[in-house]
Amino acid sequence: MSVTTPPGPVARSIEDLIAQALECEHFELINESGNHAVPAGSESHFKLIVVSEAFAGERLLARHRKINAILRELLAGPIHALALHTYTPDEWRARFADAPLSPPCLGGSGGGKDAPNSGG
């Protein structure tokens, strides 16, 4: 399981609840609270990526309902926003078999193809 930044109590609770309820092939929790107008150190906005065979045969809405049911108490309290990305192991491997390519270089100045040293 992977949690970005040192996990606070809410992140640890999310991780524990998911681990108890689902056997995950991949788990990633990203605290996105810093991207919002909340106090520093907040744990209110998260992105959760879960890969589990438990999602096999389920539509996206059913998968999200399953996660929401697991995190029900946290969603009623400290979690304000939760972006869910749920996959079966086969979907995960098909979609993310290789690391995504890095974007093309825009040159040292950050400009477009007409920028100096852009190589384009």
How far is the C-alpha of 38 from the C-alpha of 44, rounded, in Å? Answer: 8
Residue carrying the six token digits 């040159």: 107
How far is the C-alpha of 10 from the C-alpha of 1, rounded, in Å? Answer: 15
The more confidently predicted of residues 109 and 49 is 49
What DSSP designation does 108 have?
T
**Domains of the chain, earliest start first:** 2-96 (3.30.300.90)
Whole-structure pTM value: 0.74
Instruction: Reply yes or no on whether the pLDDT at 75 is more than 50.
Output: yes
Strands 24-31 and 45-52: antiparallel
The pLDDT value recorded for residue 42 is 85
- Strand residues in 1-120 grouped as ranges (E): 2-3, 24-31, 45-52, 81-87
The pLDDT value recorded for residue 39 is 74
Residue carrying the six token digits 């970005």: 4
* pLDDT tens digit sequence for 21-45: 999 999 999 998 878 877 777 898 9
The more confidently predicted of residues 39 and 86 is 86
Query: Mapping DSSP to helix (H, G, I), strand (E, B) and coil, where does residue 83 land?
Result: strand
The pLDDT value recorded for residue 81 is 93
* Residue 7 neighbours by CB under 8 Å, 6+ apart: 15, 29, 31
CA geometry: angle 47, 3, 65, nearest 5 deg: 40
